[in-house]
Amino acid sequence: MALDYSKKVMQNFMHPKNMGEIKNADGIGKVGNPTCGDIMWVYIKVGKKGKSEIIKDIKFKTFGCTAAIATSSMITQLAKGKTFEKAQKINTKDIAKSLKGLPSIKMHCSNLASDALKKAIEDYQYRK
Ligand code: FES
């Protein structure tokens, strides 16, 4: 049975934003979902805004389902230019809302995106 994806999900799946790698990234987060086998990498470049550190640039690479790719694309758009504090608060509901909904059995795919972003930030903080 075909899943009922929103138009916004399909746009982000067919034409993902910020897809690729950042060479010399300041932080890299990698997560996998052991159940479905999907894997996602998030790369960040860090900049400054006043005294706060912000996500200056962000890219992703995802081997995964339609929802995994669409949620990766969306989280990069939501996180770009944000402080770490704000970026770390982006959750599955925010991603689903920005995508105009996700089928309930696909909500777990957006966990992958928010976890990968958190790990990329942690990786940066660990390297410092
Ligand atoms: Fe694996 Fe969507 S089915 S992340």
64 lines ligand 1 (CB under 6 A): yes
9 lines ligand 1 (CB under 6 A): no
65 is catalytic: no
Instruction: Point out the catalytic residue in the list 10, 36, 63, 97.
Output: 36
Tell me the H-state helices in the chain. 7-14, 66-79, 84-88, 92-98, 107-127
Phi, psi of 126 (to 5 degrees): -70, -40
29 lines ligand 1 (CB under 6 A): no
Q: What is the DSSP letter of 34?
A: T
Pocket test for ligand 1, best of 109, 114, 115 (most atoms within 8 A of CB): 109
Residue 1 confidence (pLDDT):
55
Instruction: Point out the catalytic residue in the list 75, 102, 109, 121.
Output: 109
Token readout for 110 is: 């957006």
Report which protein residue has its CA nearest ligand 1's atom 4.
Answer: 109
Q: pTM of the prediction?
A: 0.94
pLDDT in tens, the chain (128 residues): 567 899 999 999 999 999 999 999 999 999 999 889 999 999 999 999 999 999 999 999 999 999 999 999 999 999 999 999 999 999 999 999 999 999 999 988 888 999 999 999 999 999 98
